[in-house]
Structure 1
């Protein structure tokens, strides 16, 4: 059995299946971890969901900001667009959305020594806190009141963790941190506006990648992330970043994580330009 982690698919179904073929993925015996953003902008979002649902016993899926936006569109909270219309218009829409609502914001595997969150884990959270807070928002997304709660997630929230804030503000921070963060400042304040790569100019302004923040709470497991296509493939002892920009004409990347040495396999993807109609929103902003 092999365990493979893969970066953001974003509806690039043909590239996704080509990568699975290249790594000889066998759903009957292998495991696949997907780091979120399964859908949106790519031409095969429906096919991607249908396939992952068909092998659901063999996958661990983390929700990304685009997946949350799809669920919000299903409830009428956000506008749809041509890339996700086929999902919402499918006769299987309810089944697929209910299944997606049942996915996690954080996956943890102590035996393998990895955890996975779409954007990462807030510098304010140790692993125990991250697990607790992820479980809390997962339960709300899976509840009968999901649409009411989710609508609140798209309102402006705080970029700084505050235990004394209202419960809904804390939830907004938790969801945004797990699905949208890239940079933070010296005070662990998250910056949700910057989407480019880390640069000297940004560092001079005091903005650094969240995983480089001083006094970040210890996470004993290596964190697999997606979300940051402009960062591209990146690995150190703490982080394994796998969003290599397939949607933007880059690559789709998989990492085998069940052996001592991580094996990296990538395929080139066809370039797809983002149209105005495909600029969908995500919790707390239309900036992702």
Structure 2
């Protein structure tokens, strides 16, 4: 059995399937971890969701900001767009959205020594706090009041964790930290605006990648993340970042995480992943 973690797919279905072929993904025994942003912008968002739903027993998924946007569009909280419309117009829309609502903000595997969150884990949270707060927002997203709750999530919130804030403000911070953060200041304020790579100019302004934030709470597990295409493939003892910008003409990257040494496999991606390939999983037999 192999366990592969894959960065942001963002609807690049053809590239995703090509990557699975390259790593010889075996539905009878292998597992996938998907680091969020399954959909949006790419032309195969519906096909991506359908495929992952069909192999759901083989997949661990964390939600990204684009996945949250899709769910919000289903509830009428956000506007849709041409790459999300096929999902919302599908006769399977409710089934797919309900399944997506059931996914996590944080996945933890002590045996493998990894956890996974789309943008990472706030410098303010140790693992226990992160698990507790993730579970809380997961329950709200899965509730009958999900649409009302999501409407509140898209209002401006705080960039600093405050236990004394209102429950809705705390939820906004939690969701934003798990799905949108990249940089932080020395006092642990998060920056949700900068989208570029870490530079000396930003460091001089006090902005560092969240995983370099001074006095960040210890997380004993290595954190798998996506979300940051301009950071690209990055790994150290604490973090494994896998968003390599497939949507932008970069690569789609998988990392095998069940062995002592991480194995990285990438494929080159076209800027637009427009073609369709066979959606059935019946042909996904082992190709060893």
Could you list the runs of 4 or more consecutive aligned residues of structure 1 that deviate by over 2 angstroms after TM superposition? none
- TM-superposed CA distance for 1:148, in Å, is 0.5
Aligned to 1:146: 146
SS in 1 for 2:50: helix
Aligned to 1:284: none
Aligned to 1:277: none
What is the distance in 2 between the residues matched to 1:263 and 1:166?
Answer: 44
- TM-superposed CA distance for 1:134, in Å, is 0.1
What is the distance in 2 between the residues matched to 1:216 and 1:258?
Answer: 26
Q: Between Structure 1 and Structure 2, how many residues are aligned?
A: 273
What is the distance in 1 between the residues matched to 2:271 and 2:49?
Answer: 21
Q: Does 1:199 align with 2:199?
A: yes
- TM-superposed CA distance for 1:27, in Å, is 1.7
Q: Does 1:22 align with 2:40?
A: no
Correspondence list, 1:250-261, <5 A = 250-261=250-261
SS in 1 for 2:108: strand
Correspondence list, 1:51-62, <5 A = 51-62=51-62
Output the aligned Cα RMSD.
Answer: 0.7
What is the distance in 2 between the residues matched to 1:152 and 1:261?
Answer: 42
Q: Does 1:223 align with 2:223?
A: yes
Aligned to 1:85: 85
- TM-superposed CA distance for 1:28, in Å, is 1.7
SS in 2 for 1:247: helix
Aligned to 2:98: 98
- TM-superposed CA distance for 1:254, in Å, is 0.1
TM-score calculated relative to the size of structure 1: 0.94
What is the distance in 1 between the residues matched to 2:119 and 2:22?
Answer: 26
Q: Deviations over 1:201-231 (max 9, x none)?
A: 0000000000000000000000000000000
What is the distance in 1 between the residues matched to 2:168 and 2:4?
Answer: 35
What is the distance in 2 between the residues matched to 1:173 and 1:198?
Answer: 22
Aligned to 2:182: 182
SS in 2 for 1:258: coil
Aligned to 1:31: 31
SS in 1 for 2:255: strand
Q: Does 1:8 align with 2:8?
A: yes
Aligned to 2:163: 163
- TM-superposed CA distance for 1:26, in Å, is 1.1
Aligned to 1:262: 262
TM-score calculated relative to the size of structure 2: 0.94
SS in 1 for 2:246: coil
SS in 2 for 1:95: helix
What is the distance in 2 between the residues matched to 1:28 and 1:100?
Answer: 23
What is the distance in 1 between the residues matched to 2:15 and 2:218?
Answer: 36
SS in 1 for 2:252: strand
- TM-superposed CA distance for 1:272, in Å, is 3.2
Give unpaired runs (5+ residues) of structure 1: 274-288
Aligned to 2:281: none
Q: Deviations over 1:21-54 (max 9, x none)?
A: 0000012210000000000000000000000000
SS in 2 for 1:214: coil
- TM-superposed CA distance for 1:237, in Å, is 0.0
What is the distance in 1 between the residues matched to 2:193 and 2:33?
Answer: 28
